[in-house]
Structure 1
C-alpha cells in the first residue's frame, strides 16, 4: 500500500542515518582510540629515536645533527633565545638556526578550566612532536649559507613585541652578510624580512626558502574523522589538503604556484608560510622517516636571485602561527591579499552551507554574546524557512491521524483484497485532501543543515570552550553530565573506573540534553499518525531510544539545535492538532496530570 510504502521510505532514510552515526560512534571512534593506544605502547622505542634530518632537506641547507629526544625544557635550553611577548603569543626564537620553535597561545587554554596551561603551538627540535618553522637561502655551490646549526647574533631588540621588532645577523666566511628583521602584530602574524649583502669576491645566485616541519603526527590525530589535520595550502590556485595518514603513505606532492600559502594544520591551530603574492614559488609537502617517526614538512622555494659583488637582495615572508579564528583569517586575506586563507578552517564539502551558517551564528553572537543563544536563533530561522513545507507536512500528518479509524476499517473490510484496499485508501486520501508523502521532504531538507551545523561545531575555534549556561561550558564537547552518577549528585566519574565505568562513559553516556532530546523525539513521534504494520510500529517506538544513545556523544551544541527544533515541532503540531480537533499526547498528559479532560 502507498502509505506503507511511504513509511518504509522514511524508515529506510532514518535507519540509514542511524547506521552512519552508529558506524561513526562504535567503529571509527574505537578504531581511532585503538590506534592511539598502540602508539602509546611504544614510548620506549620513540624515546630512543634520534631526530633525523630536515624532511626534504633543501639544497645547500645542512641537516641538523642527530640528537636524542629530551624534555621540552631541555630542548629549549639547548640554544640561546630571544623572547616573544604579545597580547596573543608567548614564547621565544632560537638563535641557533633562527628558528620559530617555542610558542604558546595566551588566549586559549588546554581545557575549560581558566587555570589550565595555555595551548602550545610550536615546540623545539629534540623534544617529542617537535613543530617549528625556519627561513633561509639555498644555492648550488655556495659555501657558508646559514643552516639549522648557525648561531645568529642579535643586533637590535631584546624582546619581540608588536612595537619592538627584532634584528639578527650572520656573516659567512664567504663574504655574505645575512640580516633578518622580524616583526609581529598583536595577533598571529610574523613578518620576516631577509636581506643578503654580497661583500665577497664573486657574484652568487641564491633562492629564498621557508619551511615548517612537524616531527611525528600529534597524538590526538584520528579522534575525529570529519576534521582535516595535516598538510594544507593554497598552491596553484587550488586548496591542497593531505591528511597525516595519506601524507605518510604517499609522500606528499610538489607543484608550482604564484603566491598562495602552505603549512601544517591541526583542528584549531595553523602554522602557515605566506610568500609574496607576486612571486613564483615551488611548493612541496614532503615526509621522511627517522626511526619510528614520520617527519612532515611543508615548504616552498622562491625564484633564483643573482647577487653581484657589492649588491644585496631582500625577501619578505609572512608566517601565520596561531588560532584559526575566521575574522582574523579574513582580515589577513584583505590586509596582505592572501587568497582564501580562511579556508584553513575545514568547511568541508558542504561549504555552501557551513560558511553561511557560521556567519549567521557569528552575527547573532555579536548581538547576544552567547553562541548557545545563537544556535537557538539559528534553529528558529531554519524552522521559519521551512515553515510552509513543514506546516503542510504537519497538517497532512494530523489529517492522517484523524483518518486512522476509517483507514483501519478499510483494511479490515478489504483484508483479502489488497488492490481494492489500496484503491479505497487512496480514494479516502483524495476526498480528505491528504498527501501521504508530504512528511518526507521537510525531514530530508533538514538533514544537510544538521550535518553542516555538526561540521561548524567541530571545526570552528569560536565554538571551542564556548559556554551556554549552567553546566554547559563547551558547545563543541558532549554533555558533561551523566545519568550514571545522577548528574553529579554521586561523587563518581565513570571514565576513571576501568571496564564497566569506561563502557558506561564512552558508549552509554547519557546526560541531561541527550535525555531531553530523546523525550522530545518520542513526543514528536507520538504525535505522528501510527503506521499499520505492527513491526513498523515497534520500530518507530524504539527510534527515540536508539537516537538518544546515538546522539549522546555528539557536541552539545548540536543537541541544543535538535532538541529546540523538536520543541518547535511539538508546538507547531500541537496548534494544528488542536485546530483540527485531533487528540494529542500533550492534552492526554495534561488530563492525566490534572485529572481533568481538556476539550479539543
Structure 2
C-alpha cells in the first residue's frame, strides 16, 4: 500500500510538471504569437476607422474612447441638483438622465478626507454609468433621446420632500412630462406622461435602461462574488420568479444578447457592494435584455426592459412609472423595499405579505448554499448590533457555529485522537506484514475494531461542516458591513488585506515589500494575522494523525507555510475568522486528546519550557 501511495504521488507530481512545462514552452509562445497577430489586425482596422472624422488613435493604435474629465462630462448639460440624506449629485437635462450620483453614507477609502463613493458618472467620462428612461415607437420622429434637452423650472432640487418636473414638447404633437421623486435612502421613482395633441393614433412602448460604458479593470476579478447583469423575472402567474445572472466576462463573451419576458420583477447591474436596478410595475408585462455592444474600443454593457406597446389616441395621455434603486446592497434596506415597508423579523422564514420587489435581497450573491448563508448572515447581523464591532461579531459568530457543530466535531476529533494513539501499533503492523498488504489491512481493521475506532468518523463530520464554513466565508466576502469596518489596533478595514508585513518589520521600516519583483505580491501583506494563522494551522496539523505515506507527511508539513502566504492576500477579516476558528479547534482537540491520554504538541511545548519530558495525562 505504501508503494502504491508513493507511485500515485509521483505520478501526480510528474503530471503536474509536464503540464507546467507544456504551458511554459508550448502554449505560452503560441498564445503570444496569436495575441501579436490579433493586435496587428486591430491596428489595421483602427487605421481604417481613423479616417472617419472625429476619431483619434490612442497609444496602442486603437481608437481612443472619449475620456473627458468627470467635471467636463458633467458640464455638457444643464442640470438639476440631487440632495438627500443618502445621495448627492444631479440630473442631466440633456436626455433627462440620472447620471451623476454619490453615496453620502459610504467613503471610497478609510481616510478622514475621503470623498464619498461614486455610483453614476455622466456619458463622456471614462467608465460612464447612468440610468435612462423614455418611449419607443416605430417610425415616430421627434421622440426624446439622449440628445434632447428637457425644460425644467429654475431652482428645483430633488429631495425626498420635493420631486422635480421636466417637460419636452417635440413640436410634432407630442408633449412629454417626467416627474422624478426619491425617498430618503436609495429608491427613485420616474413617472412619465406623454400626451397626444396631434390628429393621428400613435403606438408607443415605455423603456428603461441601466448602462455602463466600459468597466474598471478590478471588476470581475473576485470570482466568489457575482458582478455583472442581474435580474429576477416573473412568470405569467406573477408568483414564480427566477434569478438570472451573467458575469461581466461571460456576459460579453458567451451571451452578448439575452432576452427575458417577465411579469414585473426587476433587473440591473451589480458590483460587489453596489447596485443599480430598474423596477417596473409588478403587474406589467415587460421584455428585459442583457446586451453588450461596442463603440470604438469601449464595451457598452446595457440592461434594459421594454413595456407593452399601447395605442395613444388624439387628446389622450399614456403614463408609465418605473423605480430605480441606486445604492448599497445592505440586507435590511433591500428587504425593506422587497416587502414594501418594515421587513420581517430575522427569525421568520416566511411572510404573508406580497412582495413589492420580489426576491430583492437576491441582489446579494448568497451562493449555492443560500439555505446556510442567509441564516448565518442574520445571526452575524444580530451579533453586530450587540457588539457594535464587526470584527467582534465575526468572533462571536465563529463561537456560535462551533457550539452548533460541536457534536459532529467532537466525534471527528475523538476518532482522530484514538487513531493518533494507536499510530505506533499501526506502524508495527505495517512493518510486520510489509510483504502482505491483504494481511496488513486485515490486522489494521481488527485493531480499529478492538479499539472501537471508525476511521471514517475522522472525515465524515468534517465533510458535513464544509458547506457551513464555505457559507460563512461567502457571507464575510459579500457583506458590506465588513467594508471599512475597523477591528482593534492597526486593522482599519476588515475587507482589505493585512496592512502590515513582516518584511518591513510591520510598518516600522518605510518600505513597501509589494514593490519587489516576482515575490512582492506574495509578501506584501504577510503581517501579524496571517502569521498567527500559519502558527495555528501548523498546530492543528500537528495534532492530527500523521499521513500513512512519508512523502504525504512531508507535503502536509508544508501546507501551513503555503496557506500562510496564499491567505495573506485575502481580506484580513477572513484571516481573523480562520485564525480564531483554528484556535477553537485546537482547544477542542487538546481537551479530547488529554481525555484519551494522547501525546500532543501543546504538552510537548509546555514541557520543553519547563524542562520536563512531555506526558499525556488525564
TM-score tier by shorter-chain length is 0.7 to 0.9
Q: Counterpart of 2:554? A: 538
Matching residue of 2:351: none
Q: Within 2, Cα distance between the matches of 1:293 and 1:488? A: 40
Query: How much has 1:498 moved relative to structure 2?
Result: 4.8
Q: What are structure 1's unaligned runs of at least 5 residues? A: 20-30, 53-65
TM-superposition CA deviations, 1:98-147 (whole Å, max 9, x none): 11111111111222223222111111111111111111112223332222
Q: SS of the residue aligned with 1:430?
A: helix
**C-alpha distance 579-68 of structure 1, shift in aligned 2 (>3 A):** closer
CA–CA distance in 2 between the matches of 1:531 and 1:344? Answer: 44
> CA, structure 1 residues 200+558, in 2 after alignment: closer, same or farther (shift >3 Å)?
same
Correspondence for 2:246: 242
- The equivalent residue for 1:329 is 334
**Residue 589 of structure 2: SS of its match in structure 1?**
helix
SS of 1:93's partner is: strand
Q: Which residue of 1 aligns with 2:395?
A: 376
Q: Counterparts of 2:206 and 2:389 in 1: how far apart (Å)? A: 45
In structure 2, what is the equivalent of residue 230 of structure 1?
Answer: 228
**For 1:315, which of 312, 320, 343 is the aligned residue?**
320
C-alpha separation between the residues in 2 aligned to 1:532 and 1:265? Answer: 48
Helix, strand or coil at the partner of 1:300: strand
- Partner residue in 2 for 1:213: 211
CA distance in 1, matches of 2:263, 2:565: 50
Work out whether residues 93 and 99 of structure 1, in 8 Å CA contact, stay in contact via their aligned partners in 2. yes
2:417/2:592 contact within 8 Å kept: yes
Question: What TM-score results when the alignment is normalised by the length of structure 1?
Answer: 0.86
How do 1:171-570 and structure 2 match up within 5 A?
A: 171-236=169-234, 237-249=241-253, 250-335=255-340, 337-495=356-514, 497-499=515-517, 503-506=519-522, 509-570=525-586
| Structure-to-structure mapping, 1:580-599, within 5 angstroms | 580-596=596-612
Give the Cα separation in 1 of the matches to 2:138 and 2:441. Answer: 83
Structure 2: give runs of 5+ residues left out of the alignment.
20-30, 56-63, 235-240, 341-354
Would the aligned equivalents of 1:50 and 1:68 in 2 still touch at CA under 8 Å? no
Structure 1 residues 569 and 164: CA distance shift in structure 2, 3 A: same
CA–CA separation in structure 2 for the residues paired with 1:260 and 1:122: 23
Cα deviation 1:197-254 (Å, max 9, x = unaligned):
2223333322211111111123222321222222211224321212222222332212
Greater relative contact order, per chain length (Cα 8 Å cut-off, separation 6+): 1
Give me the whole-angstrom Cα distance separating, in 1, the residues matched to 2:552 and 2:407.
Answer: 28
CA distance in 1, matches of 2:213, 2:441: 67
Cα distance between partner residues in 1 of 2:227 and 2:413: 43
How far 1:51 sits from its partner (Å)?
Answer: 10
- 1:416–1:255 Cα change, 3 Å: closer
Q: Secondary structure at the match of 1:83?
A: strand
- Name the SS of the counterpart of 1:235 in structure 2: strand
Matches within 5 A, 1:100-111: 100-111=98-109
Alpha carbons 2:390, 2:482 under 8 Å: kept: yes
SS class of match (1:437)? helix
Superposition CA RMSD, Å: 3.0
Assess, with a 3 A threshold, how the Cα gap between structure 1 residues 573 and 245 changes in structure 2: closer, same or farther: closer
Name the CA shift for 1:167/1:484 in 2 (closer, same or farther; >3 Å): same
- Shifted more, 239-248 versus 589-598: the winner is 589-598
Deviates more, 1:399-408 or 1:323-332: 399-408
Q: In 2, are the aligned partners of 1:168 and 1:179 still within 8 Å (CA)? A: yes
Q: For residues 382-401 of structure 1, give each alpha carbon's deviation from its aligned partner in whole angstroms, at most 9, with x where no partner exists.
A: 22222222212222222222
Q: 1:546 to 1:207 in 2, by over 3 A?
A: same
- String of CA shifts for 1:333-352, please: whole Å, max 9, x gaps: 11171111111112222222
Is the 2:513–2:524 contact (alpha carbons within 8 Å) kept by the matching residues of 1?
Answer: no
**SS of the residue aligned with 1:182?**
strand
In structure 2, distance between residues paired with 1:597 and 1:548: 31
Task: Give the distance between the partners of 2:505 and 2:394, measured in 1 at CA.
Answer: 27
Distance 1:444 1:433 in 2: 21
Report how many residues are paired: 553
1:280 Cα deviation after fit: 0.9
Distance in 2 between the 1:266 and 1:522 partners?
36
Cα deviation, 1:448-470, whole Å, max 9, x if unaligned, reads 22322222222222222222222
Q: Distance in 1 between matches of 2:517 and 2:529?
A: 25
Q: 1:428 to 1:84 in 2, by over 3 A?
A: same
